[in-house]
Amino acid sequence: MARPWWRARLVGKDEAFVPKTLAIIWYSATGGSRQLAEAARDGALDAGGVDVRFLPALKAEADDVLAADGYIFVCPENLAAIAGGMKLFFDRTYYPLLGRIEGRPYAAMICAGSDGTNAQKQLERIATGWRLKRVADTRIVNVDAQTPEAIMAEKTIGEDALAKAREMGAMLAAGLEVGVF
């Protein structure tokens, strides 16, 4: 019995099942972005049908991005920009990937102390440069950290935000599996 077209890729001369891959690339300094990334991972795994790679931004390389069919980027805002660990990932991989990943779907989440929109714009500009296809609005999770102590403290993300992160992971996984992106 032939596999559905969205579950097969040509491998050499034969058609073989090769599941699509979703890469969740994340950076977290105080735990908030990690919790969001884990929730997205759990949603993608629950949806099934794709391989899920959970990649810390400080370890992810251009080859990891090339090997994936879609992406979720998760990071904190720091000083009105994407945090340094995620920025370092983009600095390392931007030019090696330029012209090689156009049209692939992505979504993003920002864990912010108050606003997050500048970090959102920065991340979306990078994705636009790569010619990625945004398939969901960027989610900004505001943890309302306004004092130095609150900013540096370990974060706890609320269940509503975690549920939305799981939905994002499930949506990306399902879309990759059935080929709608």
Buried b (16+ CB within 10 A) or exposed e, 132-149: beebbebbbbebebeeee
Domains and their CATH numbers in the chain: 19-178 (3.40.50.360)
Tokens representing 168 are 């994002």
Residues in the chain, total: 181
Q: pLDDT of the chain along its 181 residues, tens only?
A: 344 444 445 555 555 678 999 999 999 999 999 999 999 999 999 999 999 999 999 999 999 999 999 999 999 999 999 999 999 999 999 999 999 999 999 999 999 998 999 999 999 999 999 999 999 999 999 999 999 999 999 999 999 999 999 999 999 999 999 999 9
pTM: 0.91
Q: DSSP secondary-structure letter at 4?
A: P
Tokens representing 72 are 């979720």
CB 54, CB 160: distance < 8 Å? no
pLDDT of residue 131: 99
